[in-house]
Structure 1
Amino acid sequence: MNYEEKMIIAYEAVVSKKMSFKEACTKFKIPDSTLRDRVKKGNPTKGRRGKNATLDQNESEKLTNCIMMLMKQGYNYTIDELCTLSSQYVVSIGKRKHDKPVTKHWFYLLCENFPKLKELRIKLTQMDRTQTRDLTRVSSFFSYLSSCVNKHDLSERPCSIYSLSSTELSYSWPYAIREVPSHEEAITLFICANGAGNVIPPWYVFPEGKSNLDINRLQEDCKPGFGFLAEERLFPSEIFLKYLTTHFLRHTLPQDHKILLVDGHDLYVSVEILEWAEQNQITLIVLPADEYKTIQPLQVDCLSSFERLLTENCKASMSGSQLERSALCKSVSDAYQQAFTSEEIQRSFRMSKIFPIPTEMI
């Protein structure tokens, strides 16, 4: 960690009142006077971004607009998440490599040139997303969702409003779902359904470590779903784009405008994703983190049933401590069909108030 990175972390700790000046300076071995000066000026960096910055003006504005749009929807990203979002963008346009992500220092310097981001930066240093339930974020989310529904005339078209969730799977028992052992790379399962009760077949993301897999055999095991072998160091947004282009579009009506609700904590949404979505008549909306389990339709009811059924299926299919891939996929497929019925999905959308949207939520 270099000097500027230490200064930024110390600055954040002091501004958020997690440390005193003395504690921060002692821990990070930085000058007290410098830290006090930067806190007084409200700027953790030593200066403005120079002309040799990674992004040009147009690229910087694209990234800024993406961040502001996501924040407007009601999801409060942390500094670390915004750095990851920025890294995804600069890598996607060829300005950096995967192993050279942007730092907090880089992001703070970007903020200095954009007033909106500068205001956001101050809020971020004081924010703790998990401390309290912020109803204003929920209101912002539903207001934005309602405006999108009205804009595209979808108030009577639940078939065009989709919700996407993901969960992790493992070959190890009793860790078949969610609780993946630290020594094992997780398999990610994408689940997507719409307000009319239609569910898209499951989409599996197998880790790069399984690169010796027979692809044909893999797809056979995954039927009626689809298996994707993730390459090393792919960003979540790159995997998500693969899902959208190869699976989501394939199972939805191409001529219809669609709203797709996604989980913000998985960092699926990026500048590249938003541009692609606009070109393909898809509006992406990020669910507020602190209300995720109450307004994510699939989380409200269906996923708990799916996880219970999958656990039972896996237990019945076990022969030893490891599941075969074919047995795991078969267990997923059976649980999928039982849990994600049309009636249950529609009920989940109503319970989460995603469709129809009650007047009091707007």
Structure 2
Amino acid sequence: MEQEILLANYIKHAYLIHFRLSTKASRRLAFEFANAHNVAISDGWKSNKIAGKDWLYSLMTRHTLSLRTPEQTNLSRATSFNKHNVNLFFNNLKEVKEKFGFSPQDVNNLDETACTTVHKPSKVLAKRGQKIVGQITSAERGTLVTFVAIISATGKAIPPFLIFPCVHFKEHMLHNALIGSKGAASPSGWMVSDLFSSVLKHFVEHERPTVANPKLIIMDNNESHLSIEALDLAKENGIILLTLPLHCSHKLQPLDVTVFRSFRKFYNAACDTWMINNPGKPITIYTIAGLVGDAFPKIIYLLNISNGFKETGIEPFNSGIFTEEDFLSAFVTDRPASPHQPIASTSRNLNAELSSPGLPLVVDAVVSPEEIRPHPKAPPRKGARNIKKKRSAILTGTPTKKL
């Protein structure tokens, strides 16, 4: 049983670092692990050189394991969300909060999401056993319109700002949009640095920040948010711009954590309804403002927004919101900057990370599962890298001198 617990711990650690073991890989590891410890095994295991399915299902029952379909996890997101990047962000957030005395109504989050003319249909009722179930959409490939949202920690949201894929913006593009919505145009439909100052002006119109009563905006660390005009406008109007670490918005951005997750569902439902009410007509970029206006109010309520700020540790401020388990996705690339810096024993790291309630620790095994099948680990970096743009920064603060 002690050896089995160690094997179960290894499997649990593998899925925490996003390198999960399949059923076959787990059974093969069990066979090799049993051989290494001279455990008596059945002839079926020996002939096939793999553990039996019945044994695996029994292991899953005894150690609360289940067969799951993993979500695709971007490598950059998995490796960038580490202690160093997150601590730097919370240090910057603490600095601006103490310096300007921001209250919850002064803390805002800005982010963009894509709205396309081709939506993902909602689930529908169909005959049991039907292999193919179709649902009408506008086309096979859609045109993108960027929706910029800004929310505050008290549950408020300013009207949408939409960026259309055109050279020139026309007011009729905002047909049926929410009152107070604004629009702009860029050839790609994406946010560009020239338009970000227009977004800040839209924020100033609704929130009225001043140098005496400043407001904080937390946003992505994208190049489209960086322009001299936008930074000057922010400083003149008392807007403090704080950026998130690159590829960490899935954990640190309130809009990503709660609001946009619900928005996509309601936007797709609004598209379904529009297609039914307008048979034979495709959704175009001139329809999207109305669809956003239908979906956005359904997710803008106090509990949904405030939960986003709470779960990210932004408001109320909680720099310890994330546990050791949350950072295990960066285990593979958690490495020294130079080959001369020693690497801590992976086996010891494994034992330390699994020594929490619910994951019993066994250290007296002759051979550990990791010695048989080592967890993936990136080698030390060969040279220095320019990682300045990945870090959190106070854009409107004093420039940091390069040492």
1:236, 1:335 → 2: CA distance? 25
Write out aligned runs for 1:196-235 (5 A).
196-208=154-166, 211=168, 215-232=170-187
Q: Distance in 2 between matches of 1:225 and 1:311?
A: 23
Q: Pairwise mapping of residues 268-287 of structure 1 onto structure 2 (< 5 A)?
A: 268-287=225-244
2:245 corresponds, among 264, 288, 306, to 288
Give the aligned partner of residue 189 of structure 1.
147
Q: CA deviation at 1:254?
A: 2.9
The CA distance in 2 between the partners of 1:299 and 1:263, in whole Å, is: 11
Which sections of structure 2, spanning at least 5 residues, go unmatched? 1-75, 123-137, 323-403
Bigger Rg, structure 1 or 2: 2
Aligned-partner Cα distance in 2 for 1:143–1:222 = 39
TM-superposed CA distance for 1:261, in Å, is: 0.8
Paired with 1:276 and 1:158, the residues of 2 have a C-alpha distance of 23
Partner residue in 2 for 1:330? 290
CA shift in 2, pair 1:266/1:335, >3 Å? farther
Give, as a single letter, the amino acid of the residue that structure 1 aligns with 2:193: S
% of aligned pairs identical? 23
Which residue is equivalent to 1:150?
98
In the aligned structure 2, how far is the partner of 1:139 from the partner of 1:321?
Answer: 50
Which of 85, 105, 124 pairs up with 1:137?
Answer: 85
Instruction: Measure, in 1, the Cα distance between the counterparts of 2:155 and 2:220.
Output: 20
Letter in 1 for 2:264: E
Structure 1: distance between partners of 2:204 and 2:280: 39
Shift of 1:288: 1.3
Distance change (3 Å), C-alpha of 1:175 and 1:190? farther
Contact 2:164 2:285 (8 Å CA) reproduced: no
Query: Retained in 1: the 8 A contact 2:184–2:195?
Result: no
AA in 2 matched with 1:259: L
CA RMSD of aligned residues (A): 3.0
TM-fit CA distance, 1:203: 0.9
Deviation at 1:324, TM superposition (A): 4.5
Matched pairs, number: 226
Q: CA deviation at 1:263?
A: 1.2
Aligned to 2:353: none
Q: Is the 8 A contact 1:175 1:181 kept in 2?
A: no
Question: What is the Cα deviation at residue 277 of structure 1?
Answer: 1.2
Q: Whose helix proportion is higher, 1 or 2?
A: 1
Structure 2 residue aligned with 1:313:
270
Gaps of 5+ in 1: 1-127
Structure 1 residue 196: deviation in Å?
0.9
- The aligned counterpart of 2:195 is 239
Q: Which has the higher contact order (CA 8 A, sep 6+)?
A: 2
> What CA distance in whole angstroms lies between the structure 2 residues aligned with 1:361 and 1:296?
13
Q: Distance in 2 between matches of 1:231 and 1:147?
A: 35
Please report the TM-score for the alignment, with normalisation by the length of structure 2. 0.51
Shift of 1:223: 3.1
- Shift in Å, 1:248: 0.8
The Cα shift of 1:148 comes to 0.1
Alignment of 1:343 onto 2:303: yes
SS of the equivalent of 2:159 reads strand
SS in 1 for 2:267: helix
Give the secondary structure class of the aligned counterpart of 1:221. Answer: coil
Task: Report the TM-score, using the length of structure 1 for normalisation.
Answer: 0.56
Give the counterpart letter for 1:203 in structure 2.
F
Per-residue CA distance 1:284-332 (angstroms, 9 max, x = gap): 1111123211110111111111111111111111134721556432221
